[in-house]
Amino acid sequence: MNIGILGSAVVAQTLAAGFLKHGHDVMLGTRNPGKLGEWRSTHPQARVGGFADAAAFGEVVVLAVKGSAAADALRQAGAAALAAKVVVDTTNPIADAPPDHGVLKFTTSLGESSMERLQREFGAVRFVKAFNSVGAALMVNPKLAGGPPSMFVCGNDQAAKQVVKGILDQFGWETVDLGTVEAARAIEPLCMLWCIPGFLSNDWSHAFKLLR
Ligand SMILES: NC(=O)c1ccc[n+]([C@@H]2O[C@H](COP(=O)([O-])OP(=O)(O)OC[C@H]3O[C@@H](n4cnc5c(N)ncnc54)[C@H](OP(=O)(O)O)[C@@H]3O)[C@@H](O)[C@H]2O)c1
């Protein structure tokens, strides 16, 4: 598939490398393509452009920008270019304030997630929440003693979630579909939970697994 990635930082770069490894074509979108010069020299197959270029390129688009910039980045990408496309939302609505005893602060409440806000503004986009509840270093084919971890996903479009499940299969994850966009109220705060051992004990090498 052609994958457009909105973002240029660690998540964008990590997922881009993963998509390339699994045979997809990738374009990263950023406000400043020059900043990816060094990364590009080690990933010459990847394309780099603006947000609108990456959105137009992608059959599937990955949203991997700072949480507070998510809506802005999508506006810059262009609602028309994104209409009907699968947009994998990796973002977390982390506030600028520092963590409190290892617990991140969010800009959202338990009654309304960031992805619900995005879905309301960009009604024609087929958002799927994924990749937000694990650190970038473990996003692609993680090797953990406990076996393949679970990726919690949600979104309103069943076919879009199947597309994302296909990606997660390639990336070595078990997909756990938690339903519609409202489930992002629970999936986004998993980022807070995931980060606590990191902030308290510098332990970042874990992922969630749903046991049955
Ligand atoms: N880091 C992780 O391990 C991790 C794990 C899971 C989920 N996440 C989530 O994934 C997302 C990306 O995380 P990250 O650590 O890779 O990067 P980040 O530092 O959170 O964000 C950097 C990206 O945000 C964009 N950005 C910042 N301000 C912007 C604005 N005003 N308008 C448009 N774009 C703007 C930047 O665009 P430019 O390229 O134009 O500068 C850049 O691509 C975040 O929402 C984060 O919460 C991160």
Per-residue pLDDT band for 9 (boundaries 50, 70, 90) equals very high
pLDDT at residue number 40? 94
Q: CA 164 to CA 158: how far, in whole Å?
A: 10
Q: pLDDT above 70 covers what percent of the chain?
A: 100
Contact between residue 184 and residue 115 where contact means Cβ atoms under 8 Å apart = yes
Q: How many residues does the chain have?
A: 212
Contact between residue 130 and residue 204 where contact means Cβ atoms under 8 Å apart = no
pLDDT, tens digit, for every residue of 31-80? 999 999 999 999 999 999 999 999 999 999 999 999 999 999 999 999 99
Q: Which residue has its alpha carbon closest to ligand 1 atom 32?
A: 69
Q: Which residue has its alpha carbon closest to ligand 1 atom 10?
A: 91
pLDDT at residue number 58? 98
Ligand 1: centre distance to CA 14 (Å): 12
Atom index in ligand 1 nearest the CA of residue 9 equals 16
Mean of pLDDT over the chain = 98
The model carries a pTM of 0.98
pLDDT at residue number 200? 98
Tell me the best of 5, 8, 10, 11 to mutate to test the pocket of ligand 1, counting ligand atoms within 8 Å of each CB and taking the most. 11
Burial class (CB in 10 A: 0-12, 13-18, 19+), 3: buried
The ligand 1 site (C-beta within 6 Å) comprises: 7-12, 30-32, 64-67, 69, 72-73, 90-92, 94, 132, 135-136
pLDDT, tens digit, for every residue of 87-140? 999 999 999 999 999 999 999 999 999 999 999 999 999 999 999 999 999 999
